[in-house]
Structure 1
């Protein structure tokens, strides 16, 4: 089973994926690295302000400055994510990733030199630049991996994106503890270590080929595409992949240069675009970022000590890494849609338990036994919430957006989806603290969102497991055609129903004429007989003469 599951995973393909997902590790690291040294950064801001203006800054002002340092990362991510499609089309998937590392190096150097320069503005600018870098990575990396992966491994390899994110989060949490770099002298080094993934990718990625799909479909360089495929597949038998790309190219010739406006206005592509956007929202509005940003305070409010709460937060990162590893083989065995449904359903259940644990503390906080029991419930519920996030919503939205679109509209679709993801990320990060007015019910809005997203996934999201890009697109084309056919069949069926309803209430002569009309072949019957779903509505029948007309009867005449 294992051999069958990983068939096609060559050494060079593994190397290319490892080099590419360093960009997603960069994203995960910079998402979590700012949280651990919060107190140290605030103390630095107080010192800088006092040296400049000769007076102490208020605590509220320091909190606002720190929130700028946190949130400006998401603003940069929006800009980078929105630009991903343009960069991918102009410089290629691999070329865009290589150029993006310049931003990664610049942003890391700015953050690392903040304390030396004695200017917190440098921290803001560095966080913004590294945010642009991470936004581009979230658009380019899934696109590149989905285009170089063979069909049977596309799901599992797509999950590697989320694995890299979780590894980056875990590394930032571990390095940020006080015993390592979470100190007044160590936090600039902690932020500056973001230079490592950028330099490592600059060293590893040049050996990797450009996306064969980009080379063949966008650039029309067939020989270069064949060379790239031979290296990735470790085989000269690449005609099947070439033919799949050619079929995709033929189907998408009219959409070879799809802009964002054209994508939004296309009736065929509107449905997959809506699905891609809602899938991104299901990841961010699930409440997972609220857990990442505030898990320590959540555990403390549940009754854990400060030290236990910090190690429980590190446990969240470790569990995410483990569960993401487990989900890699499940992705191509179980399917994207099924895992996403399991993930959303499990998160919904445990979000209710988190609310229950908060309510128990409010109502029974004076009973020590209840506090101990509630602390365990809170930790287990939060860890269960994270487990089910890693199973589905953590990785599938990044992957399925790239799978739902063919070569032409894919860059524009990824740009829109990633922009929505970053906007939702920013909204949750800024808005969750203001939800304190809901007190112990602050997680209920996330529970409502999870229920809505589960219903949407069940009703609208197709299964993309082991389907080519053209087969996935045909699902939506067929959906449009089926709706049109259904309207036609309902219209024709209503005519027949009217005839049957009128029978017995009209004069026999008119009834006989209608019977003749009903028995004549439908003008589209030859089309229906070719295999359409509507063939049973109007089957072709041989014409026969009408029955003889009976003598006329006149109402109330007795004749």
Structure 2
């Protein structure tokens, strides 16, 4: 995705946000910087979606090199991405504080180029190992991006536009997924000759970042509070805002710094040891588990396989896969205004409830299509609706809820632990779905249905509503 596309997408998103005007602090420097950063999230979406369509051709490639089960090795190729993500998240946290936001993003972009090159040239080298290692490295790159990009974007965005700019990360993920799925159809790169190019093209987002990021300013917040260089912070903020009226923002940063110094710092072990911290931690972790163990990545990684098992031809299945990414993209747009209107708890319950219903209907459609061919169509429709309800709440709420359940002293540790759990659950689903599918056949989604019911019950009884509540009000609930 070029910077022009990212900027255009960003402009449309901001322009459609209530109360946001393009002239109110949105400058070329700001759009440029945000576009450069969210290319990492585009990379994340692309590599989540691109592995789906070429499964048959990759398994043929594996079969040419090994006598081992190609399905098992393909599961490793899919799931090793999440192992990389588990490493990338905490690594990003360290890099962001040690070297700054801009340099950390630039390092990660160069790392992404390396992973994409290994994947893209694995067939030419007749090396399955290159594909696995490249997929692992691009997983580190994407895990890093899921921490670094939102941090940088939130710190350079004007306060009154922070919500609108924050949504661009989710939109970039969905757009990257759609782009990868479109390229994977038969007439483009969904062929035995074309699939290596699907991975070679993963070089582009990271390569474009390598060219763009050196011209993007460092986060003024990091310069002021991280390295104590107020002069450079003022220069960066003036460039981003396009004017010198920055005193209020500088003063706000100083006030935030002073408040943070007065607040007690907590470690990850403290989160487990202290009751008032342990309860919200368990809630946040279960929210992350509900996102992954509800089965969404089984659909994102293996929807082509799922649609073929439901009676579609491989060509039709690859076309239907595009609908999965498109549904996520549309729901990312739809859910944004609902987040503050209906609240986190309500949207999470609606999302989990809808996923439960349509996972049951998907199972019925899979089981009956052999006797009724029209059920193949319903299987696809139910899958889209399952994905749509995921987009209502479970796609984004787990990533934001921990920051709303903890005060500043414990927030960093809690968010890092939540991200680690999320990527680990992602790995479990990616590795286990094919063996589960072989063992359970058309009933493969029933374990996810049971877990969704449990997650719904937990959310109903345990998750407090954080809408319109201050951090102090929320944390006070767990001190009672």
Q: TM-score, normalized by length of structure 2?
A: 0.85
Rounded to whole Å, the distance in 2 between the matches of 1:347 and 1:359 is: 18
Among residues 12, 16, 21, which one is paired with 2:38 in the alignment? 21
Among residues 466, 469, 473, which one is paired with 1:475 in the alignment? 473
Displacement of 1:461 after TM fit? 4.0
- Asked if the contact 1:28/1:167 (under 8 Å) is kept, the reply is yes
Q: 1:444 — aligned with what?
A: 446
Instruction: Please give the secondary structure, in 2, of the residue aligned with 1:116.
Output: coil
Rounded to whole Å, the distance in 1 between the matches of 2:279 and 2:198 is: 43
**Is 1:10 aligned with 2:26?**
yes
Higher alpha-carbon deviation: 406-415 or 423-432: 406-415
- Asked if the contact 1:76/1:130 (under 8 Å) is kept, the reply is yes
Deviations along 1:85-117, one digit per CA (max 9) or x if unpaired, are: 212221222221111112101111112222332
Higher alpha-carbon deviation: 155-164 or 324-333: 324-333
Q: How does 1:485-500 map to 2 (within 5 A)?
A: none
- Asked if the contact 2:111/2:141 (under 8 Å) is kept, the reply is yes
**Is 1:149 aligned with 2:151?**
no
Higher alpha-carbon deviation: 196-205 or 266-275: 266-275
Q: TM-score, normalized by length of structure 1?
A: 0.74
Alignment CA distance shift 1:412-1:219 (3 Å):
farther
Instruction: Please give the secondary structure, in 2, of the residue aligned with 1:117.
Output: coil
Deviations along 1:39-91, one digit per CA (max 9) or x if unpaired, are: 222333343x3xxxxxxx43x43333333322222222211123222122212
Displacement of 1:296 after TM fit? 2.4
Alignment CA distance shift 1:282-1:302 (3 Å):
same
Rounded to whole Å, the distance in 1 between the matches of 2:399 and 2:408 is: 16
Alignment CA distance shift 1:463-1:142 (3 Å):
farther
C-alpha RMSD of matched pairs (Å): 2.9
Which protein has the larger Cα radius of gyration, Structure 1 or Structure 2? 1
Among residues 56, 68, 79, which one is paired with 2:87 in the alignment? 79
Structure 1, gaps ≥5 residues long: 50-56, 484-559
- Asked if the contact 2:185/2:315 (under 8 Å) is kept, the reply is no
Instruction: Please give the secondary structure, in 2, of the residue aligned with 1:155.
Output: helix
**Is 1:351 aligned with 2:372?**
no
Displacement of 1:288 after TM fit? 0.8
Deviations along 1:371-422, one digit per CA (max 9) or x if unpaired, are: 31x2232222111111122222223333444555566655433432221111
Alignment CA distance shift 1:464-1:146 (3 Å):
farther
Q: How does 1:15-54 map to 2 (within 5 A)?
A: 15-47=32-64, 49=65
Instruction: Please give the secondary structure, in 1, of the residue aligned with 2:320.
Output: helix
Q: 1:395 — aligned with what?
A: 396
Q: 2:456 — aligned with what?
A: 454
Among residues 49, 66, 69, which one is paired with 2:74 in the alignment? 66
Deviations along 1:182-232, one digit per CA (max 9) or x if unpaired, are: 233322222111111111112222333333333333333344444444444
Q: 1:518 — aligned with what?
A: none
Q: 1:415 — aligned with what?
A: 416
- Asked if the contact 1:350/1:384 (under 8 Å) is kept, the reply is yes
Alignment CA distance shift 1:477-1:326 (3 Å):
closer
- Asked if the contact 2:71/2:434 (under 8 Å) is kept, the reply is no
Alignment CA distance shift 1:262-1:420 (3 Å):
same
Q: How does 1:44-443 map to 2 (within 5 A)?
A: 44-47=61-64, 49=65, 57-58=66-67, 60-253=68-261, 259-265=267-273, 269-361=277-369, 365-366=370-371, 370-372=372-374, 374-402=375-403, 409-436=410-437, 437-443=439-445
Displacement of 1:275 after TM fit? 3.7
Structure 2, gaps ≥5 residues long: 1-14
- Asked if the contact 1:88/1:411 (under 8 Å) is kept, the reply is no
Q: 1:531 — aligned with what?
A: none
Rounded to whole Å, the distance in 2 between the matches of 1:96 and 1:77 is: 16
Alignment CA distance shift 1:110-1:406 (3 Å):
farther
Alignment CA distance shift 1:461-1:209 (3 Å):
farther
Displacement of 1:262 after TM fit? 4.5
Displacement of 1:244 after TM fit? 4.1
Rounded to whole Å, the distance in 2 between the matches of 1:466 and 1:149 is: 21
Alignment CA distance shift 1:125-1:275 (3 Å):
same
Instruction: Please give the secondary structure, in 1, of the residue aligned with 2:123.
Output: helix
Instruction: Please give the secondary structure, in 2, of the residue aligned with 1:289.
Output: helix
Displacement of 1:477 after TM fit? 3.7
Displacement of 1:424 after TM fit? 0.4
Instruction: Please give the secondary structure, in 2, of the residue aligned with 1:157.
Output: helix
- Asked if the contact 2:75/2:430 (under 8 Å) is kept, the reply is no
Displacement of 1:125 after TM fit? 1.6
Rounded to whole Å, the distance in 1 between the matches of 2:161 and 2:463 is: 20
- Asked if the contact 1:146/1:403 (under 8 Å) is kept, the reply is no
Aligned residues: 462
Rounded to whole Å, the distance in 1 between the matches of 2:127 and 2:283 is: 44
Instruction: Please give the secondary structure, in 2, of the residue aligned with 1:252.
Output: helix
Displacement of 1:466 after TM fit? 6.8
Displacement of 1:427 after TM fit? 0.6
Displacement of 1:123 after TM fit? 1.6
- Asked if the contact 1:170/1:314 (under 8 Å) is kept, the reply is yes
Rounded to whole Å, the distance in 1 between the matches of 2:441 and 2:365 is: 12
Displacement of 1:137 after TM fit? 1.0
Rounded to whole Å, the distance in 1 between the matches of 2:405 and 2:223 is: 20
Alignment CA distance shift 1:217-1:257 (3 Å):
farther
Alignment CA distance shift 1:42-1:103 (3 Å):
same
